Structure 1
Amino acid sequence: MQLKTWALALTLCGVVEATILQNGQVRESHFPDTRISDLSVYHFNTYDADAAEISYKGRWDSNKVSYWSAPGLVFGFSGDKVAITFGENTVNGTLVGYRISGRDWIFTNVTGGGTHLLVTPETPGIDEAYPVNPQRFEMRVSNWGYGIQIDKVHVGTGESLIKIPPYNRTIEFIGDSLSAGDFQSYEGLSSFAYGVGEGLGGTEYYVTAFPGICVTDQECWGNPRGQVHQWFYSSDTSWRAAEIWGDNPEPWDFEKMETIPDIVVINLGTNDNNVANNVSAEAYVDAYKKLIQGVHGKYPNAQVVIMVELWLGFYQYGNSYAQYQGFQHELEEIVAYFNSDRYLSAPKIWDGVTETIETLNMPSEPFVHYFRTKGILQHNDIGPQYHPTDVGAIKVASHLLQYIKLTFGWDLAATGPEYVFHT
């Protein structure tokens, strides 16, 4: 009897270990195959990737290749079919999430050169009443290191794409793996940056973040350049960007951005602070100041939020744990510098492409703030890879949402759509 009970227990444990529940639902690990081979069967109405009705979110180069974290696209459509043909610069197997209006994300792996039928009459929500009119299609890339290229967008015969106007407020996150969602369930779509962008509701968001990158312009964990330089470019520091662009990456065209960020949140320094990268405090401060000067030059009216305490993990402290801190004094000094007359009287604007700095006589008021993360995360909110768990990311996003609401008066406009994290 004991042997049978033990065997049953092992069987039950096996079932539990093989099933992951998230929000009370089973989290999928094998996603539907949406690729189709014969396009003529569907008699599509086809649009090129540069169609005016398509709004690209995040950073894409001029060939409609995506980079950085959680880039995506949005458009309205009529009818009950949507398919996308992906270009040759799509990394095969890239996991994308897509959804109609405020419904749950649906995930699928896409292929370069393939056409994927993403919306059909059977897609949840397609046959229901629409509080959002027209129907809104959104797609986001989940992985920060992979990417896609859009070649064509297809809808049903006699149907059309419809331009969706952008939201009237925008937030950008500049960071490293902590902002990119590295080691989290859906990576970019599980990061705290995604949680804040979606949690605000009615807000455009860009996540210009890549794992391992320093703010200082030097090699860090395989990244050849730092954010003080790379933020000014369309592409990130990935191997695929190097294959596509070589030594001449395409500068980001700030003037063609659909919306200009009102708030920029920066979380950088964890990689600079690692002894393996040998970054001095002086070099870190200089690079961080130049990055903020560049942000101020490109977005003169934006408010900048520095996340002050770096997430360097925890160490055992007696019979408990304490949080490591790095560059704490330096970060506080950076905030003080930008809010002093030394800077405000004659702002110095850094250009990471030409690597020049210019002093401008432009009207300015204090615009740099700090958001303290100390005390938000506890020891078990950091995973084995020194990155926040999904729960840790939600905690940071929740606190940052309230900080933005209280500091800048932004209402939380998400009123029901499936925005903050997903099943």
Structure 2
Amino acid sequence: MVLNYSIGFSHHQRSSPAWKGKPVQTTCRPGTSSPGRHRLRSRLRHKLRVLLVTVLAASLLPWVGGALASAAHVVHPVPEDGSVFDPDIVYVGRWDTTTSPTAYTPYWAGAYFRVGFTGRTVGLKQRGTVNLWASIDGGSAKLYKNVSGVVNLTPVPLSPGRHTLQVNYQAIAGYYHGDAVFQGLVLGRGETTFTPPARTRLIEFVGDSITVGLTTSQQARTAYGWLIGERLGADHTQIAQGGACLVATADGCVGLQRQFTRLGPLLSSPAWDFSRYQADAVVINLGTNDVGHGVHTPTFQAAYISLLHEVRAAYPHAWIFALRTFRGRYAAQTQAAVSAVVSAGDSRVSFVNTAGWLSPADFTDGVHPTDQGHRIIAGRLAPIIAARIGAA
């Protein structure tokens, strides 16, 4: 029996273990005596014996009957196996990684994962029927519609070697189309995963259906937030919901001022753990829908100030960009909210005046930008963000 285990690494870590595939080495400082080196070797041998006994004991626990077996700690398989907790899989956005030990679920629009893999084939394990996008080696994304179970992403095998994969689930107005529950990768015999190239920046986009990318050809993937992130070589999130307001209203409008701190858009969603990732920039585009729900301007301005405080508490070092809505709604109140927090001492907040960015031809329905409209927004906004946080 061959036993493989991961030791001491959380499945929430985004980077692969430093020791992966490398022999453990010890180095003595100059001048260390021979007895000192001997003691160091003895201590290392002792620790390795203890570690071996611990791992062996853990491997036997599942076969022990009775209450001891039921209470045994579950030991995760060795990294590089493609399981959902494989640390080589980089999850971007808000994913539920705690409800199930064998499946992860994304929330909000535009969540995705990135991973590297060796070999010629790769697939996904999906709990139920879903629409998803997959891109291999940075190529054009392919839409897989109504797929479930084992989803083969390489019906034509790839060339041998190292490859990268990016997957996101199709969102319609902020809700995923189908059962967006990921149960791991399917790798070929002898294939392993590896950590994909690191991205040193993360930009979070907070908004409504415009930020979701509603009416565009690929929804979240063709929305300005996704385009900006990819253009700047940054990871990106879209904490956005179709029909969302800034202010939660009695007639049911989802209020981002309240839901921003939550895993998902539902009132029952648990609080989000902001230690999971830190954004370098946050872009807020809210106010288009509040008018239709009767939100008064003083209420809007106060709620915007509150949201800016919440974002700052979540991301102490992020630069915050508050956009004038593309239809100009609550523009004065948005700018006044920014001025208020800047005057109170937060110098890393900017109001972005988007007046004149889009023409009537850049909208599908007078509200939602076309693909071209989103590209225009990305072209105007990306340099503003890059000037503050840089680009890869």
Query: What interval of TM-score do these two structures reach, taking the shorter chain for normalisation?
Result: 0.7 to 0.9
Q: Is the 8 A contact 1:175 1:209 kept in 2?
A: yes
SS at match of 2:165: strand
| Equivalent residue, structure 2, for 1:268 | 286
Q: 1:339 aligns with which of 323, 338, 342?
A: 342
Question: Counterpart of 1:394 in structure 2: which amino acid?
Answer: R
- Secondary structure of the residue aligned to 2:140 is coil
- The percentage of counterpart residues that share the same residue type is 25
Question: Residue 111 of structure 2 contacts residue 169 of structure 2 at CA under 8 Å; is this kept in 1?
Answer: yes
SS at match of 1:119: coil
Shift of 1:152: 2.4
> Quick check: 2:319–2:389 contact (8 Å CA) kept in 1?
no
State the Cα distance separating 1:66 from its structure 2 match.
Answer: 1.4
Q: 1:140 aligns with which of 154, 164, 168?
A: 168
Whether 1:103 and 2:139 are equivalent positions in the alignment is: yes
1:248 and 2:268 equivalent?
yes
Match of 1:380 among 346, 349, 361: 361
Please state how far the C-alpha of 1:229 moved relative to its aligned partner: 1.3
Structure 2 spans left out of the alignment, 5+ residues: 1-79
Shift of 1:153: 1.3
- What's the TM-score once normalised by structure 1's chain length? 0.68
Judge conservation of contact 2:131–2:147 (CA < 8 Å) in 1. no
Give the alignment partner of residue 119 of structure 2, picking from 79, 82, 85.
Answer: 79
Counterpart of 1:153 in structure 2 is: 185
Matches within 5 A, 1:304-323: 304-308=320-324, 310-312=325-327
Q: Is the 8 A contact 2:110 2:169 kept in 1?
A: yes
Matched, 1:208 2:239: yes
SS at match of 2:262: coil
Shift, 1:165, TM fit = 5.4
Letter in 2 for 1:303: W
Q: Which amino acid aligns with 1:54?
A: I
- Aligned with 1:335: secondary structure? helix
| Separation in structure 1 between the aligned mates of residue 247 and residue 181 of structure 2, nearest angstrom | 30
Structure 1: which amino acid aligns with 2:375? Answer: I
* Native 8 Å contact 2:127 2:183 kept in 1: yes
Rounded to whole Å, the distance in 2 between the matches of 1:158 and 1:212 is 47
> Whole-Å Cα distance in 2 between the matches of residues 226 and 383 of structure 1?
25
**Residue type matched to 1:145 in 2?**
Y
Determine the C-alpha separation between the residues in 2 that align with 1:254 and 1:404.
Answer: 21
Aligned-pair RMSD on alpha carbons? 2.0
Report the counterpart of residue 194 of structure 1 in structure 2. 226
CA displacement 1:47-89 (0-9 Å, x = unmatched): 432222211111111241112111111111111111111124x
**For residues 313-338 of structure 1, what are the alpha-carbon distances to aligned partners after superposition, in whole Å with 9 as ceiling and x for unaligned?**
xxxxxxxxxxxx32122111111111
* Paired residue secondary structure (2:153): strand
Q: Establish whether residue 287 from structure 1 lines up as the match of residue 292 from structure 2.
A: no
Q: Output one character per residue of 1:142-184: Cα deviation in whole Å (capped at 9) or x when no partner.
A: 3232151111211001111112353111111001111110111
- 1:290–1:76 distance in 2 versus 1, CA, 3 Å: same
What is the TM-score normalised by the length of structure 2?
A: 0.73
What does residue range 407-418 of structure 1 map to in structure 2 within 5 Å? 407-408=387-388, 410-411=390-391, 413=392
Aligned residue for 2:338, secondary structure, equals helix
Report how many aligned residue pairs link the two structures.
304
**Counterparts of 2:131 and 2:220 in 1: how far apart (Å)?**
11
User: Which residue is 1:418 aligned to?
Assistant: none
Quick one: distance in 2 between partners of 1:177 and 1:198? Answer: 20
**Aligned with 2:139: secondary structure?**
coil
Q: Structure 1 residue 105: deviation in Å?
A: 1.2
Residues 214-229 of structure 1 mapped to structure 2, 5 A cutoff: 214-219=245-250, 222-223=252-253, 225-229=254-258
**1:260-279, Cα deviation, whole Å (9 max, x unpaired):** 111100000001122xx011
Considering Cα pairs closer than 8 Å and 6+ residues apart, tell me whether 1 or 2 has the greater RCO: 1
Task: Flag as ranges the 4+ runs of structure 1 deviating above 4 A.
Answer: none
